[in-house]
Amino acid sequence: MGDLGQAGSAAIQLILGADVRLWSIVALSLKVSLAATVIAAAIGLPLGALVALKDFPGRNLAIVVLNACMGLPPVVVGLVVYLLLSRAGPLGPLGLLFTPGAMIVAQTLLILPIIAAVSRQIVADAWGEYREQLTSLGAGSVQAAATLLYDCRFSLMTAILAGFGRAAAEVGAVLVVGGNIDGVTRVMTTSIALETSKGDLPQALGLGFVLMAIVLAVNAAALALRNAAARQGA
Amino acid sequence: MSAESILPLELAEVGFSAGGNRILDGITARFEKGPVSVILGANGAGKSVLLRLCHGLLAPTQGRIAWDGGFGGDPRRRQAMVFQRPVMLRRSALANVAYGLAIAGVGRGERLASGRQMLERVGLLALAERPARLLSGGEQQRLALARAWVMKPEVLFLDEPTANLDPSATRAVEAIVAAIAGEGTKVIMTTHDLGQARRLADEILFLHRGRLIERAPKAIFFTQPHTPEAGAFLRGDLPWD
């Protein structure tokens, strides 16, 4: 307990003291996970909406696979991206391996199924309510998908946040494709793992606090947004 | 409206079954331009399903439904429907009215102008920027009528448009429906409200257990119904079995 207390107060000093090393790690983490979330949302929201609305052969299979992929193990995603980006791999010439770019690719693949599957569910539920009205107004399936994405925008924030939370908290994928290189690809989670194994508990705990604070802040913002939306009848 | 019409609407031996239940059976009818047609019947008689079949939201399991006018394009574009519980899009009242126009490819300036004009006609202009889901039930139904009317439909289907409304909201909705019909749109509506049928209808189609058993001009239907079922319905008798 004494260890924890000491480490805790040292961690808080690091955070408050604007430790350059700590904050550069935080900044890279945010950059990678936010970029992955933006890309995954740009693909996953329309994908989820179209799977919700369009009837095509193999649709049920697609839904099952999509839902199953929500639980992809990060290290496996990391391994696949590693194989694709490694020098001998098909995307090797891009030279992305062990760069933040590779980490963004890996996290995008990791959270794309989450955003697509959750938004498919949200849009499918809304479609039940909207279907006759939108059909009557003459909307085709692409127009209906766009309308539902817009009308469900506040619920869909939940899907996007779930994706961001997963990306920010995972360690396996970024570790495998990024390599945890100090100053280049070291992010909060890989750093926490490393510092803990090295016994540098203040640094690990400090990053842990920051990570928790970010996740809490993001969710608080989401709740505030939802409440504001509810007041406006949205 | 261009010269070619989608009307008349022709139903030949139309039936509809779902999950082994026969909901409609042997409906043959022809709807011409002009009179307000009110489909009357008890709950569960199949009124709503009949409207959905006519509007193309459901496909008949037997028989044939055809728009026999000379209109060459998609007949769906010349019809609109207002539902018992209209779905308000999560945006302003004005944006709701403009939505259908956007789908039809009308430019932004024109759709907002038409939308405002329509809101004024249904008495909602002051609420144009209000989120549609915050409007009262009666206001929402008037908005739904505006959203349908702005499309200048040749045929307007109304499914129990006042079933959930109080008397004053009902009066407002009926006034709008009368105005729409007065401007030449063919109105086909369902109701189980006899007073409403008396006020709005030119002709009555009486549905009983999925069958169209009587069709007559309003004056005749209400004074001398041919079938005992219609007579019982008019007297307000409870179903005896």
Instruction: For the domain made up of A2-231, give the CATH fold.
Output: MetI-like fold (1.10.3720)
Please indicate whether, in this complex, the C-beta atoms of B83 and A139 are within 8 angstroms of each other.
no
Amino acid type, B145: L
Residue extents of the structural domains in chain B:
9-69+77-235
Q: State pLDDT tens for residues B6-40.
A: 888 988 888 899 888 889 998 898 999 989 999 99
Q: Do A135 and B57 touch (CB under 8 A)?
A: yes
d(Cα B172, Cα A111) in Å, to the nearest integer?
Answer: 51
- Picking from A133, A138, A150, the nearest residue to B77 by CB comes out as A138
Look at residue A78 in the predicted model and tell me its pLDDT.
95
Interface predicted TM-score (ipTM): 0.90
User: Which CATH code is given to the segment(s) B9-69+77-235?
Assistant: 3.40.50.300
Edge-to-edge strand list for the sheet holding B186-191 = B79-82, B155-159, B186-191, B37-40, B203-208, B211-217
- Asked if A106 and A179 touch (Cβ cutoff 8 Å), the reply is no
Tens digit of pLDDT for each residue in A26-80? 999 999 999 999 999 999 999 999 999 988 898 999 999 999 999 899 999 999 9
Q: What is the DSSP-derived secondary structure letter of residue B10?
A: E
Confidence of residue A148 (pLDDT cuts 50, 70, 90): very high
Interface check B152 vs A, CB under 8 A: no
- Antiparallel, parallel or unpaired: β B9-18 and B21-31: antiparallel
| Cα separation, B198 vs B212, whole angstroms | 19
The Cα A157–Cα A45 span in angstroms is 10
* For range A94-119, the mean pLDDT: 95
Query: Cβ separation of B76 and A143 shorter than 8 Å?
Result: no
Contact B83 A132 (CB under 8 A): yes
Please tell me if residue B131 touches chain A, with a CB cutoff of 8 Å: yes
pLDDT single digits (tens) B58-105: 999 998 988 888 777 788 888 999 999 889 999 999 999 999 999 999
Name the token pair of B138.
Answer: 């009666």
Q: Which long-range contacts does B220-225 make (Cβ < 8 Å, 24+ apart)?
A: B222/B198
Is B241 a residue whose pLDDT tops 60? no
Q: How far apart are the first and last CA of chain A?
A: 48
User: B90, A233: Cβ pair inside 8 Å?
Assistant: yes
Nearest chain A CA: its distance from B230 CA (Å) = 31
